[in-house]
Amino acid sequence: MPWAPANTRRQTLFWQEAQGGVTYRIPALLYLPRTHTFLAFAEQRCSIRDEDAKCLVLRRGWKHGASVKWGPIETLTAAMLPNHRTMNPCPVYEEDSGTVFLFFICVRQHVTERHQICTGRNAARLCNVASRDSGRTWSPLMDLTEQVIGEDLKKWATFAVGPGHGVQLSSGRLVIPAYTYYIHTRFCGIPVSCFTKPHSLIFYSDDRGQKWHKGKLLKGKSTVECEVAEVRDKDRGPTLHCNARTPGKCRAIAFSRDRGVVFERPSWCKELCEPPNGCQGSVVSFFPMEEPAVVDGVEGTGPDVGEKTCLARCKNTSSTTCHGATSWLVYSHPTSRHRRVNLGIYLNKTPLETRSWERPWVLYQGPCGYSDLAVCEESPPLFGCLFECGVDFPCEQIVFQLFTQQELESHGGSSSSEQQPQTKMDVEQMGQYPRQEGSPKALHLGAMGGH
């Protein structure tokens, strides 16, 4: 399992200056192709605990070739409800209008997730804000809880979106990944907490974000935080892939043929391990660019030169739009079965086969946690990864790193043996970017689902 050495494309965006103090956690990443802009979101917390989350923060980055210049940290004051904490950033980009919808939950102050599950009394609200200028300004907060969830809220002990990015499908549908703790059994009107189980689902819009709806819960296995990606096979129509955290030893994967309203029963994916209690992970799809080949005097990617032309036109986003080509999946997650260490990047070249994941390339060796991926419209594809990491703990900083398809293919698929975390000296030698003026004093980790 090779790991990535330090390089100049790794940048620290948020950091914790004092252990136990203000911390930044729960990264979400979005790339806006029109303006070549990255939006990097995170939670700001008073401490590492989920219930000490305060608000969401944002850094905007402008891509120039294979480098990104980042602006200062901005507090998203529009994304706040009085007497609530804001958690779980989940942005999605509507391409036709150039609108960013940022979903999140607002949870009543001092109410923990465990308390909601035990009492069956939900304290979360489904909210969003929107931006039409690449994240510079945001609309007033919209509380969509009653409109989208309605009467079903009585059966939801709590819920959350993401965290991580949403997607726009080839049909134009906007999709926000989510999960709920569903109350399966009550005794004398009181929920039985041992029968309150987590289930993944999606929220979606078919009218460019004007109205939102909810899909059906994934049945069977307990599935928590998830991300989705639209995949396409040459011989089939588009399929929505759901990659979900579980409390077990590996991830759960489910497919939907109707763009996410109903998913097939999830199956275990033993190739994608979970540490104890699981961890959030990220998934994106893209159309690969193959090595050039000369056929009949014409440079192409193989015997079908026309396919190369098609691939070159495709938009490498987390949803796929190119007809007649096969998309691949990229997934990020800690690679150890024992603890949250060694962030791996996994590649699947046949995404409708759940066991075809290649062995991971370790992008960061050491303590790590949540992550989010984005794909740039490049040829060949360029990827961004925003992830939690540290020297001693995974909540010390949130880092951004770019990598290419070529790097991923050249490093992946090697030995599967687990690596030990780096020493503090190893990390100090990784050439992290210096802190920028105007950055906050500290950062911190946290989110729903037992972050």
Catalytic residues: 50, 370, 388
Cis, bond preceding 303 (omega within 30 deg of 0): no
- Taking alpha carbons only, the member of 242, 243, 246 closest to residue 276 is 246
The one-letter amino acid code at 142 reads: M
SS3 of residue 434 by DSSP: coil
Q: Which tokens go with 168? A: 């726009």
Cβ contact 158:125 at 8 Å: no
Measured in residues, the chain has a length of: 451
Rg, C-alpha atoms of the chain: 21
Cβ contact 85:53 at 8 Å: yes
Helices (H), 185-340: 305-313
C-alpha to C-alpha distance for 375 and 382, rounded to whole angstroms: 6
Phi, psi (5° rounding) for residue 59? -125, 135
C-alpha to C-alpha distance for 60 and 86, rounded to whole angstroms: 19
